[in-house]
Amino acid sequence: MAFLPTGGNAAAKSFVDPTKKYTYTQLGKDIKELQQQYPDLVKVKTIGKSEYGRNIYAVSLGKGSAKVFINGSHHAREWMTTSLNMELIDQYAAAYKGNKKIGGYNVRSLLNSSTLWFVPMVNPDGVTLQQQGLNAFPKSTHSSLIKMNKGSKNFKRWKANAKGIDLNRQYNAGWSAIKNSPKSPSYKNYKGKTPESAKEVKAIISFVNQINPEMAIAYHSSGEVLYWNYKQSAANKKRDLIYAKKIGSMTGYSLVYPGPNPSGGGFTDWFISKKKKPGFTPEIGKYVVETELPLSAFSRVWSQNKAVSLYAAQESIKLKDARDKKAADAVKKDSTAKKKNAAKLKSYYATNIKKTADLKITSAHQKLYNTVTKDIAALEKKVKSLPSKYTKGIKADINDMKTHQKRSLAFQNAVKEGAILQKNQTAMINYMKAGKADTNINSKYNTLNKSITTMEKKIGAVYTAEVRSLFKTKYITPAVNTRMNNQYEKDRVNLLIVMEKQVKEKKYEEAKKNLDSLKVMEDKSKKLKADSKRYPTYKTYEASLNTWKQKLIKQIEAALSPAPEPAPETEKELEAEPELLKEPAEEPLAAETAEPNQAEENPAVETPAEMDTSITQ
């Protein structure tokens, strides 16, 4: 039957039974069951393996950023501390779900603002050996285990891990000064050859560094005392004494005041000295000599300790809040300085830009921009670790920095795009100067046109109208002039291409009509170029266009000119024709046919006789 806690008012099903010997196997089962029962509240992870490969489990309970670390069973025979760890998880989870209090503490409220991290069994090998003896380990290890146990097969007094290292003497805090350590592995007190060499200790150190808790509680047994102090500064000692007295009053445990040279090597010794945070070691149960606490002791142990972790959560929330505020104040101081530095960018993108020659990216500008970009990223990373209630001013500084960063970048982008536009403009001009009219004019023209559009967008993002005007003067106006200057040349090339196709397809009339359109474009081009300073004429290109046009004109005229008259027929052709088709021969002039007075009226006309006479003569 599960243990029902006394002294609390949480009423829910219990999954952990601390009235029985609590084993490593039972630990695994209970953790799984609790995780299934409270999936939104209980999380589990394996943080490492023991020397013999057993899992070292960590269980979290809560949803807040302030963390408390609680652990048990550094020492094998002290496995009731594991029972206590697990019962705390069980009962706190039930109280959270039922919105109940334990020991006067509002569990739900505390766990919404904090997270309790438990490692219930730091030393699973040692616990297993202490509870089950040699049978739980390979036969090859039995002789060495018996030797470390001073020849005894009874392991009830075993404290160390299964390699004979006392885990609570392994931490690197006063380790070299530890006294009374055996010279070789033993059932207790052997500190090892070097600090933090045991796998279990390595896992704990790594995990603590990961979660960064505000407070730590390492449960041990026995004696009902509380260790709380290890070489703190005066301020921290004063702080931690307040917590220690409260825990002492809650548990009835006596506070231990170590001398000026306390023995070290323990987990809380390390935590207090390395993290500068409160760490406590409660020794649960009335003192027993080198053995486990009896199961009957648990009821009293629970009553004494049921609210200690909730108190630790409460105080850790306060500690975290104070630490966050201090950190936020430092970040705010940093953000104020960095915002001031970012404001210097304005001189590079606005205040010092007076003429087109100033439209350039200097090395100093680029260097400052890179610094501001890095500063923004660093501040944003820091802000993520801080509560939102402390970040309003920091975020305002970051936004101011981003404004300068954005304006600086817009200026740089415009300068870079301007260089691209000038390159495309030059390519257009060089093409025209080359003088060969062909379809390449379209790609040059379109590239220039797109570049102008892109540049206009870049300029639109530039800060201040004055700087935008300088950009337009330096980049847009010359490029637009070049585009305009070549517009009619481009259109004429495309019309000539159309006419060439029409001629090929023998659409001569259509081609001839386009000559008129071509003439209109030529006239517009000439009119535009009347302003020779603004719109130069590329004579070689014009000559190339004219040659192309004349070639087409000849082809069109040849195709549309009328057919020539047929040549006159020859004499032979006439002789070859039928008689009826021949023209009648002219009749000889006879005397009798002449008018009576013809000869007289025309004395110059020779008579036939006279003609004959002359021939005879």
Rg of the chain in Å (alpha carbons) = 53
DSSP, collapsed to helix, strand or coil, labels residue 216 as strand
CB 213 within 8 A of CB 69: yes
Tell me if residue 157 falls in helix, strand or coil: coil
Q: Report whether pLDDT(356) > 80.
A: yes
Q: Which long-range contacts (CB under 8 A, 24 or more apart) does 393-400 make?
A: 393/332, 393/335, 394/328, 394/331, 394/332, 394/335, 397/332, 397/335, 397/336, 397/338, 397/339, 398/335, 398/339, 400/339, 400/342, 400/343
Is 352 exposed, middle or buried, given 0-12, 13-18 or 19+ CB atoms closer than 10 A?
exposed
Residue 610: the pLDDT is 34
- Predicted local distance difference test score (pLDDT) of residue 520: 96
Exposure of 504 in the CB half-sphere (CA atoms within 13 A) = 6
> Is 283 in the active site?
yes
Q: What pLDDT is stored for residue 262 in this prediction? A: 79
Domain map (residue ranges) of the chain? 24-306, 329-464, 486-560
- The answer to whether 372 and 345 are in contact (CB under 8 A) is yes
The pLDDT value recorded for residue 445 is 98
pTM of the model: 0.72
Report, as an integer, the average pLDDT of 158-167.
Answer: 98
Q: Tell me the average pLDDT across 522-527.
A: 95
Q: Residue 572 pLDDT more than 80? A: no
Q: Is the pLDDT of residue 613 over 50?
A: no
pLDDT of res. 14: 86
Which residues lie across from 281 on neighbouring strands?
A: 227
- Statement: residue 5 has pLDDT above 60: no
Chain center to CA of 422 = 34
Q: What is the DSSP string of 306-322?
A: TTHHHHHHHHHHHHHHH
Give 570's pLDDT tier (boundaries 50, 70, 90): low
Residue 218's pLDDT band (cuts 50, 70, 90):
very high
Rama region for 565: left / alpha / beta (φ>0; ψ in -120 to 50; rest)? beta
Percent of the chain's residues with pLDDT above 90: 86
Overall average pLDDT of the 409-414 stretch: 98
C-alpha span between 617 and 554 (Å, rounded): 63
Q: pLDDT value at position 573? A: 53
CB 123 within 8 A of CB 50: yes
Task: Report the pLDDT value the prediction gives residue 124, as an integer from 0 to 100.
Answer: 98
Q: What is the pLDDT of residues 309-334, one digit of tens each?
A: 999 999 999 999 999 999 999 999 99
Confidence of residue 51 (pLDDT cuts 50, 70, 90): very high
| Sequence-separated (6 or more) residues with CB below 8 Å from residue 487 | 445
Please tell me which residue, 11 or 81, carries the higher pLDDT value. 81
Q: How confident is the model at residue 11 (pLDDT cuts 50, 70, 90)?
A: very low
Work out the pLDDT band at 594, boundaries 50, 70, 90.
very low
Q: Is the pLDDT of residue 421 over 50?
A: yes
- pLDDT tens digits along 248-307: 999 999 999 877 777 899 999 999 999 999 999 999 999 999 999 999 999 999 999 999
What's the average model confidence in pLDDT over 487-506? 96
**CA-CA-CA-CA dihedral for 164, 165, 166, 171, to nearest 10:** 180
Does pLDDT of 603 surpass 90?
no
Return the pLDDT at 1: 36
Cα angle value 305/3/126 (rounded, 5°): 70
Query: What is the reported pLDDT for 213?
Result: 98
Residue 6 has pLDDT above 60, yes or no: no
pLDDT for the residue 368? 98
Question: Would you give the distance in Å from CA 428 to the centre of its chain?
Answer: 40
pLDDT the model gives residue 258: 76
What percent of the chain has a predicted confidence (pLDDT) above 70? Answer: 89
User: Can you give the pLDDT at residue 469?
Assistant: 98
Q: Does residue 616 register a pLDDT over 60?
A: no
Give the model's pLDDT for residue 598: 38
pLDDT for 173-183, tens place per residue? 999 999 899 99
Of 87, 283, 292, 542, the active-site residue reads 283
**Beta-bridge mates of residue 105:** 102
Domain 24-306 has CATH 1.10.101.10: no
Please tell me the predicted confidence (pLDDT) of residue 566: 67
The DSSP output letter for 290 is S
Q: What is the DSSP string of 468-510?
A: HHHHIIIIIHHHHHHHHHTHHHHHHHHHHHHHHHHHHTT-HHH
Structure-block tokens of residue 148: 């470390």
pLDDT digits (tens, 9 = 90+) for 114-127: 999 999 999 999 99
Q: What is residue 2's predicted lDDT score, i.e. its pLDDT?
A: 47
Category of 118 on φ-ψ map: left (φ > 0), alpha (ψ -120 to 50) or beta: beta
Q: Average the pLDDT over 77-104 and give the result.
A: 98
pLDDT at 447: 98
Grouping H, G, I as helix, E, B as strand and the rest as coil, residue 351 is helix
Closest CA to 319 of 114, 61, 112, 58: 114
Average pLDDT over residues 448-467: 98
Instruction: Tell me the average pLDDT across 472-485.
Output: 97
Residue type for 149, please? N
pLDDT of 587 strictly over 50 = no
CA pair distance 145, 134, nearest whole angstrom: 8
